[in-house]
Structure 1
Amino acid sequence: MQAIRRSVQRAPVWLLALVCAAVTTAAAWALVLPEPPPARWPQLRIGVLASAMPLQSSTRAYTEEGHEIVLARALGERLGAAPQFVPLAPEAFAGALATGQVDAVLVREPLAGAARAGTEALRTGYRSGTAAAMRADQPLRRWEDLRGKTVCVSRAHQGAQTLARRAGARLQLVDAPAQALVQVRTGACDAALHDEAQLQALFLRREWRKFSATLPAAAPAELLLLAPTARPQALQALQQAVAAEGRAPAWQERNTRWAANVAYEAYFDQIGPDCH
């Protein structure tokens, strides 16, 4: 023991200081609790408008009009939670978020303003105006030219419905975007209204060049994710997921995939009756 004391006394001061610092640091680390894992849900409950719910068909599957369902599934996959969709009216957004009926709401402007109190609006990176798909030889150049024309619009695209009514068009509502577009191809509708961002991807396809006449994009709207500020850990997890999924390349890929799916569905609807 005395030999140990003599060794310590003969040790350089700098070495003793280093040992003390190491002991102190180890003790401090022992008191630090591990950082809690990010918020996760057994199911990610996402509120959407009733018209934006996943399409249910007894005959075949259709691609939805907007990107709400696709984005919600991408967020759920990133968060490790299966998304559960809850249909909500705009006036119910705030209450559903405050009571925990839903974890978030996916909705476009201006309806997002219905639940701004106590919520944070996360920008998803998707913003688009509404445009038209028409025959390339169609002599329609302005929205006013739609007056008296038959315009196909899906029930999910409320902004397009408003534009069609404002233009004085005869509105024909359908369930899926492919159902609207096929009627442009067959001549049953003079135009079909959809997001400009989606139509731009569709018009790149060779089979749609004959039907790629359009109108100037109108009424641009942004897709937002509303999340309650009262649950900060969940909010932070949603912020990170939205930031990861909201990059421009991801949206380009979603628009391209939407165009490919809808083009196939419209083609199938058009040739289907001829196969019987």
Structure 2
Amino acid sequence: MRAFSHSRFQILVIAAAGMVMTGLAVSASAEGLLDRAKKRHGLVVGVHYVVPEYKGGMKFRTAEAPDVELMHDAAQQLKLPVSFIRSDLPSANGMLASRKADVVLAAISDRAAIPPSMMAIDTGYTSRPMAIMRSDTDIKAWEQLKGRKVCVSEGGLYAGTLSAKYGAIEQVVRAPADSLLALRTGACDAAVHDSALLEELNRLPEWKKFSARLSPGSPSSLVFLIPATDSQGQASLKRVVNAWSSSDAINQLSKKRARQIAFEVYLDQDVPDCH
């Protein structure tokens, strides 16, 4: 009887220890976005392109994608500092699982497959490739970009795609302002950027001479990617997106960015437009 009681006691101790370890594991896996960010004293966000740090003497340039600006606003709403690392859709799952990133911002097409381990939360920003050219251009279709010089920016989604798909000669520059400056001075036959940016740019009077366009291509949605188990993070990011939606923040940001980029071009253009 005494031996039996001792054995039963051992079993109970082992079972209790197992329950404690299981509880710790569940607690660790249930730790949400805000909890992790507070522990590491800031939110780490994966983005397609990490904008180089501005240093004195550099020309200020507005980046191609709005994701960094949007994330700064989201972090402000969440009352957290934010830093960025490079990531994309293929690497997002590993980045989140290893906790190298708390959340990833990625542009995904309707056909993109999201693993069940991740959840996508749409920010409300849609990107489509669009080309603008001089109004007297002879380029009328995307296929006619073959052999023509096309400017794209290194932080955008389209570098490499135009040469591969249409045989264009890509001129990869630092930012949209550099691309559009090259278009105005004749160094490029076309500039390809997000339609959200270029449509706003074409509304400005000084860009009427460059109103020729190629119809926007297939859309991609900018989404937050977050672990499917992180209910805390999902709720927080949905509140951020709802705030953007109610204040029309995405459209307002696109307008502001277009004005900024147009001003950057204006400051740097020291030769007349091409004729």
TM interval, short-chain normalised: 0.7 to 0.9
Q: Where does 1:138-177 land on structure 2 (aligned, <5 Å)?
A: 138-159=137-158, 161-177=160-176
Mapped pair 1:181 → 2:187: no
How much has 1:160 moved relative to structure 2?
5.5
Distance 1:246 1:191 in 2: 33
What is residue 42 of structure 2 aligned with on the other side? 43
How much has 1:156 moved relative to structure 2?
2.0
**Which stretches in structure 2 are left out of the alignment for 5+ residues?**
1-32
Mapped pair 1:55 → 2:52: yes
**Secondary structure of the residue that 2:116 maps to in structure 1?**
coil
Provide the aligned length of Structure 1 versus Structure 2.
234
235-244 or 55-64, larger mean C-alpha shift: 55-64
Identity value in percent: 34
How much has 1:95 moved relative to structure 2?
1.6
Q: Deviations over 1:46-104 (max 9, x none)?
A: 1012xx21134552221000111111111111111122101125443112111222111
Give the letter aligned to residue 221 of structure 1.
S
Mapped pair 1:101 → 2:82: no
TM-score by length of 1: 0.78
Q: Deviations over 1:139-196 (max 9, x none)?
A: 2111011111100001222335413431111111111010100000000000000111
**Secondary structure of the residue that 1:159 maps to in structure 2?**
coil
Q: 1:56/1:242 Cα in 2 relative to 1: closer, same or farther (>3 Å)?
A: same
Q: 1:142/1:112 Cα in 2 relative to 1: closer, same or farther (>3 Å)?
A: closer
Distance 1:77 1:163 in 2: 37
Q: Where does 1:198-237 land on structure 2 (aligned, <5 Å)?
A: 198-237=197-236
Aligned 8 A contact 1:55 1:63 in 2: no
Aligned 8 A contact 2:42 2:80 in 1: yes
Q: Which runs of 4+ in 1 moved over 3 A?
A: 38-42, 55-58, 110-115
**Secondary structure of the residue that 1:117 maps to in structure 2?**
coil
What is residue 91 of structure 2 aligned with on the other side? 92
TM-score by length of 2: 0.78
| Bigger radius of gyration among the two | 1
